[in-house]
Amino acid sequence: MSCSHKKNGMFSAGFYAVGQNAYSFAVWFSEPYGQTRNATVVWMANRDQPVNGKDSKISLLRNGNLALNDVDESLVWYTNTASLSSSVRLFFDNTGNLLLHETQATGVVLWQSFDFPTDTLLPQQVFTRHSKLVSSRSETNMSSGFYALFFDNDNIFRLLYDGPEVSGLYWPDPCRVAVMDTLDNFSSSDDLHFLTSDYGTLIQRRLVLDHDGNIRVYSQRHGGVGGLEVFCIFVIWFFLVRTRGQKYSGVDGRVYNLAMSGFRKFSYSQLKQATKGFSQEIGRDAGGVVYKGVC
């Protein structure tokens, strides 16, 4: 299966090679390559369980379920949806969101990829208390890594080192939401706001929790090739000082280790250099201050 955005071709979906004869069903930027090789992947369905490159298939079933089967017909991934409608369609909208919806007048959305991010947040993709970004294992290994970003019980962003002894975390009822708009203005319900240095239109953007535990916004103008401008987020959290050494327990009884020095550990001199002497403040709340930096 392969499909692309019908309006501008910015996004494509299909089987993306993650190893020798190993593939994941994924969404990626069509430009600048226009093919899967070296493409920029923004979402994966089965990042931790790739399928065989021969005779594996993604199928839209009559009951409204989208299912990925390996070569031996084993079920690897599915949307767990159901519909009584005789007509269900899988398509892209103009934000890179892959949607499964009924084509009748009601147009009920059964499932969408934006509700299940991997390590990337796209413009207009809403990040809620149910969302979680998990880094990749390394630059070349796209399976789940050890860093996770989410809203915590205090309604603020937290970055966890998600090691072997860490699994899930209990989410309470209060509302938490964050989103990056098309101009690259990021805002969240914990009053964290920032603009990237290339704030504006006509740019491909993505916010990524990278394998090293650093959060970066990558951008590239349409049709461009080569390197991307990188906008790094350096966060100095007061609550991290107060909770240093503190561990958190989830409902499963396991222990959660908070990444102790923010989104990534930097020396003072490194932070001062990257932020040009802490010269431009881009966000502030009761928890701390955010400065613009380039790395």
Q: Which carries the bigger pLDDT value, residue 48 or residue 198?
A: 48
Mean pLDDT is lowest, of 30-39, 242-251, 283-292, for: 242-251
Q: Is 134 helix (H, G, I), strand (E, B) or coil?
A: strand
Looking at the structure of the chain, the number of domains it has is 2
> What's 147's domain CATH number?
2.90.10.10
Report how far residue 259's alpha carbon sits from residue 215's, in angstroms, rounded to the nearest whole number.
13
What is the residue range of 164's domain?
117-295
Q: Which of 116, 132, 151 is the last residue of a domain?
A: 116
Element (H, E) at 188: strand 185-188
Asked if residue 199 lies in contact with residue 217, where contact means CB atoms within 8 angstroms, the answer is no
Pairing of strands 281-285, 288-293: antiparallel
Q: Which carries the bigger pLDDT value, residue 138 or residue 76?
A: 76
Q: How far is CA 95 from the centre of its chain?
A: 14
Instruction: With CA atoms as reference, report the closest residue to 202 among 181, 230, 225, 182.
Output: 182
- The per-residue pLDDT for range 69-106, each reduced to its tens digit, is 999 999 999 999 988 777 888 888 888 999 998 887 67
pTM of the model: 0.66
Q: Which of 50, 85, 116 is the last residue of a domain?
A: 116
Asked whether residue 137 falls in the same domain as residue 26, the answer is: no
- The per-residue pLDDT for range 2-32, each reduced to its tens digit, is 344 333 478 888 999 999 999 999 999 886 5
Q: Which of 116, 140, 171 is the last residue of a domain?
A: 116
pLDDT (mean) for 32-43: 71
Q: With bands split at pLDDT 50, 70 and 90, how would you rate the model's confidence at 157?
A: confident
